[in-house]
Structure 1
């Protein structure tokens, strides 16, 4: 059985296009488990969820890293957001609960830093619309 590499510790690595390689990558072999079919995203199903929690769950479904989520990851997200919902609605929020929720969200790769630590980078295409040079428009207006 191959070794499954987990994320790195320490500072967040730079994006791959910003790194300069001075030594060989220590990646190692990864055992791959074949899976068939797509994963259905379950409903959030939290009683009276805070709007931030609803928005956050929907953003998970729209995020690029969610293509790697398995059914257990979606259940873990629901489980985590159940506690986050309680944290937001609490009159006495707990710093320990916040730390636990943050750690769980890191496991779901919700931040760029967490994704970089496992060597996953999202490259979202930018709009192909025409860029407007506002300074040039201003100069043209002034010269008329």
Structure 2
């Protein structure tokens, strides 16, 4: 989606569909099991850190094998760029532009209406808390 980064859905006064915006239908497919390749140990430390960050970030929930293959290739290119003595601003922009397609940065995700939220805190029910308190009082639990 071109243009400025849209606001988060929670920041809007009302949902986009009520504002008269075009709501695009979504074509769905079946997500396949994925295998994340290991980073190349010879990569530049920045490329390794980016790879590790991508593996542990929320957008990784959406990645398929082809996405990981593209990410691997881009980290390889970034590593080569960072290690080379001769650097080109155009090359770096091209690499960063390709990372946008993998939704690596929050702004990239918001452009395509993907928002990562904090997990809801797990609240124990009153009965679970009461039983734990009783066990503690009886010395059954440390």
Compute the TM-score of the two structures, normalised by the length of structure 2: 0.76
Unpaired runs of 5+ residues, structure 2, are 123-142
Cα distance between partner residues in 2 of 1:91 and 1:126: 47
Task: Determine whether 1:110 maps to 2:104.
Answer: yes
Structure 2 residue aligned with 1:4: none
Aligned 1:1-144 pairs, distance under 5 A? 8-21=1-14, 23-36=19-32, 38-45=33-40, 48-125=42-119
Which is helix-richer, 1 or 2? 2
Unpaired runs of 5+ residues, structure 1, are 1-7, 129-144
Cα RMSD after superposing both structures: 2.0
Question: If you compute each CA radius of gyration, which structure gives the higher value, 1 or 2?
Answer: 2
- Of structures 1 and 2, the one scoring higher in RCO (CA 8 A, sep 6+) is 1
1:30 shift after superposition:
1.5
1:35 shift after superposition:
3.2
